[in-house]
């Protein structure tokens, strides 16, 4: 039993984190809001140079062959920075699905080539899922992985039609994607396709959860800083117990959500047949920590936090969107109680962390 990260994992997180801290200024985020593409090309290059694209790509395809436990801290760092680019979804969700396709032996040549292109930063692949009606930055991708019933399709940009939709978060560029499924584009079907889509949902929800953790921490930090400088009644507002408690409540939720998210990342890799409830727990815990942090951080800022000029809403609105993406709290809580209340639920201590937790596939997963 060991919840700690390795020195390598922490070092990777630190270097990505400090790059983001330096490069993703709030001024540069606001620039993206008015830009055509909504992306910053230099940032995409830097992320690629740091290995973010290739992290989950198998070594056989020129990637780093790492796993979600390696990625979870990076996603947290991206959330902290409120990074607009969709690197986390691209790498974890699309990259993960491509790797799954390769492992399941479907359309190996084409998939291998794409993975190689992704790792090299030459090709961008995105992914949509039935649970999200719209896909962020889909129009910037060369290929999209799309679902049709149980089937999974891999569709080139030329066969896609995009309709841009506006998000409450100006950093997001949502697209409605219209396309026609054909045998030519189908890369998985039936049981296999359904399994892949389920794994995709779990990776998407996990990626969102990890970013929500980062968002929550950043919002609390901003409010804590503000509470030390803003004075009312002749003293810093942060000296008031009521203000301290607003922040302390967030810290408790955030810290208690962390191991849940880490555990989910681990479970997705090690015991994917049991990932549903672990991921649902993670998404719920991180989502509610982020929503509380958004609310309380705004409260601490007073009227200032209600302005467009104050940077806080960059994070607040991202949290709003991500808390609902890849399944909202209702969806994930339903998955948890369905699993919990099933007749043969595997609930004993041996299923918490014990060996059987890895060996057993429970009936909810069947």
Partner 1 sequence: MKLTFSAEDEQFRQEVANWLANNLCGDFEPIRFRGGPGDEHSFVAERKAWEKKLAEGGWTAIGWPKEYGGRGCSIEQQVIFNEEYARAGGPGRMGHIGETLVGPTLIAYGTGEQKEKYLPGIRAGKDLWCQGYSEPSAGSDLANVKTKAQFDEASKQWLLNGQKVWTSLAHESQFCFVVARTDPASTGQKGLGFFLVDMDQPGVTIRPIPQLTGTAEFNEVFFDDAVCSAGDIVGAPGDGWRVAMALLGFERGVSTLGQQMLFQSELDDIVKIAKENGAANDPSIRQRLADAHIGLRIMRYNSMRMMSGGEDGSLQKEAMIYKLYWASWHRNLGKLAMDVLGPESELLTDAPYELNRLQSLFLFTRADTIYGGTNQIQRNLIAERALGMPREPRGTV
Ligand X SMILES: Cc1cc2nc3c(=O)[nH]c(=O)nc-3n(C[C@H](O)[C@H](O)[C@H](O)COP(=O)(O)OP(=O)(O)OC[C@H]3O[C@@H](n4cnc5c(N)ncnc54)[C@H](O)[C@@H]3O)c2cc1C
Closest distance of CB 240 from ligand X, Å: 4
Q: Which of 297, 295, 296 is nearest to 223 (CA)?
A: 297
Which residue in the block uniquely carries the two structure tokens 């209600």? 306
Closest distance of CB 301 from ligand X, Å: 7
Per partner kind, with CB cut-offs from 5 to 8 A, the member of partner 1, ligand X, none near residue 316 is partner 1
Site residue total, partner 1 (CB under 8 A)? 48
d(CA 332, CA 130): 15
Burial class from Cβ neighbours inside 10 Å (0-12, 13-18, 19+) for residue 34 reads: exposed
**x/- map, 157-176, partner 1, by CB under 8 A:** --------xxxxxx-x-x--
d(CA 65, CA 54): 8
Tell me how many degrees the CA angle 320-126-177 measures, rounded to the nearest 5. Answer: 75
d(CA 283, CA 272): 16
Candidates 186, 230, 263, 360; binder of ligand X (CB under 6 A) is 230
Contact at 8 Å (CB) between 253 and 288? Answer: yes
SS3 41: helix
What is the DSSP secondary structure assignment for residue 230, as one 8-state letter? -
Closest distance of CB 302 from ligand X, Å: 2
Nearer to ligand X, 104 or 299 (CB): 299
Instruction: Please state the length of the chain.
Output: 366
SS3 63: coil
Tell me how many degrees the CA angle 55-61-67 measures, rounded to the nearest 5. Answer: 30
Q: Which of 132, 134, 125 is nearest to 178 (CA)?
A: 134
Q: Is 303 in the site for partner 1 (CB under 8 A)?
A: yes
Q: Is 133 in the site for partner 1 (CB under 8 A)?
A: yes
Closest distance of CB 229 from partner 1, Å: 12
Closest distance of CB 171 from partner 1, Å: 12
Distance of CA 236 to the CA centre of its chain: 36
Q: Is 302 in the site for partner 1 (CB under 8 A)?
A: yes
Q: Which of 38, 75, 291 is nearest to 174 (CA)?
A: 38
Candidates 44, 152, 218, 316; binder of partner 1 (CB under 8 A) is 316
Per partner kind, with CB cut-offs from 5 to 8 A, the member of partner 1, ligand X, none near residue 348 is none
Site residues for partner 1, window 186-205 (CB under 8 A)?
Answer: none
Site residues for ligand X, window 300-359 (CB under 6 A)?
Answer: 300, 302-303, 306
Phi, psi angles (nearest 5°) of residue 354 = -65, 175
**x/- map, 239-268, ligand X, by CB under 6 A:** -x-xx-------------------------
Q: Is 299 in the site for ligand X (CB under 6 A)?
A: yes
Q: Is 248 in the site for partner 1 (CB under 8 A)?
A: no
Site residue total, ligand X (CB under 6 A)? 12
Site residues for partner 1, window 323-362 (CB under 8 A)?
Answer: 324-325, 328-330, 333-334
Closest distance of CB 338 from partner 1, Å: 12
d(CA 301, CA 311): 11
Q: Is 308 in the site for partner 1 (CB under 8 A)?
A: yes
Q: Which stretch binds partner 1 (CB under 8 A): 122-130, 200-208, 296-304, 343-351?
A: 296-304
Closest distance of CB 139 from partner 1, Å: 16
In Å, the largest CA–CA distance within the chain is 71
Distance between start and end Cα atoms, the chain: 27
Contact at 8 Å (CB) between 187 and 200? Answer: no
Closest distance of CB 63 from partner 1, Å: 31
Phi, psi angles (nearest 5°) of residue 155 = -120, 130
Residues making contact with partner 1 (CB under 8 A) = 131-134, 165-170, 172, 174, 231-237, 239-240, 242-243, 246, 291, 295, 298-299, 302-303, 305-310, 313, 316-317, 320-321, 324-325, 328-330, 333-334
Chain residues in the site for ligand X (CB under 6 A): 230, 232-233, 237, 240, 242-243, 299-300, 302-303, 306
């Amino acid at each position: 039993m060991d919840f700690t990260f390795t020195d390598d994992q922490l070092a990777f997180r630190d270097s990505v984190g400090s790059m983001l801290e330096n490069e993703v200024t709030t001024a540069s985020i606001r620039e993206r809001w008015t830009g055509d593409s909504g992306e910053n090309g230099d940032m995409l290059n830097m992320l690629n140079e740091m290995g973010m694209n290739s992290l989950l790509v198998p070594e056989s395809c020129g990637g780093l062959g790492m796993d979600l436990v390696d990625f979870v801290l990076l996603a947290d760092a991206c959330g902290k920075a409120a990074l607009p680019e969709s690197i986390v979804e691209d790498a974890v969700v699309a990259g993960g699905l491509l790797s799954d396709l390769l492992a399941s032996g479907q359309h190996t040549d084409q998939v291998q080539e794409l993975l190689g292109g992704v790792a090299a930063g030459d090709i961008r692949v995105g992914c949509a899922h039935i649970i999200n009606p719209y896909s962020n930055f889909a129009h910037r991708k060369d290929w999209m992985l799309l679902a049709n019933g149980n089937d999974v399709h891999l569709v080139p940009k030329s066969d896609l039609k995009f309709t841009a939709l506006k998000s409450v978060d100006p950093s997001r560029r949502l697209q409605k994607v219209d396309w026609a499924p054909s045998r030519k584009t189908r890369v998985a079907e039936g049981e296999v396709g359904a399994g892949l889509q389920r794994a995709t949902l779990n990776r998407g929800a996990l990626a969102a959860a990890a970013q929500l953790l980062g968002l929550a921490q950043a919002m609390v930090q901003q409010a804590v800083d503000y509470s030390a400088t803003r004075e009312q009644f002749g003293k810093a507002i942060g000296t008031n117990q009521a203000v301290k408690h607003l922040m302390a409540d967030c810290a408790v939720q955030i810290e208690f959500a962390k191991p849940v998210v880490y555990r989910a990342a681990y479970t997705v890799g090690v015991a994917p047949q049991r990932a549903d409830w672990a991921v649902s727990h993670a998404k719920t815990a991180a989502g509610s920590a982020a929503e509380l942090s958004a609310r309380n951080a705004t409260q601490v800022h007073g009227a200032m936090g209600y302005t467009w000029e104050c940077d806080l809403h960059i994070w607040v609105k991202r949290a709003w969107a991500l808390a609902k993406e890849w399944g909202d709290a209702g969806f994930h809580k339903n998955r948890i109680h369905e699993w919990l209340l099933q007749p043969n639920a595997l609930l004993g201590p041996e299923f918490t962390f014990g060996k059987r937790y890895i060996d057993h596939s429970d009936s909810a997963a069947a």
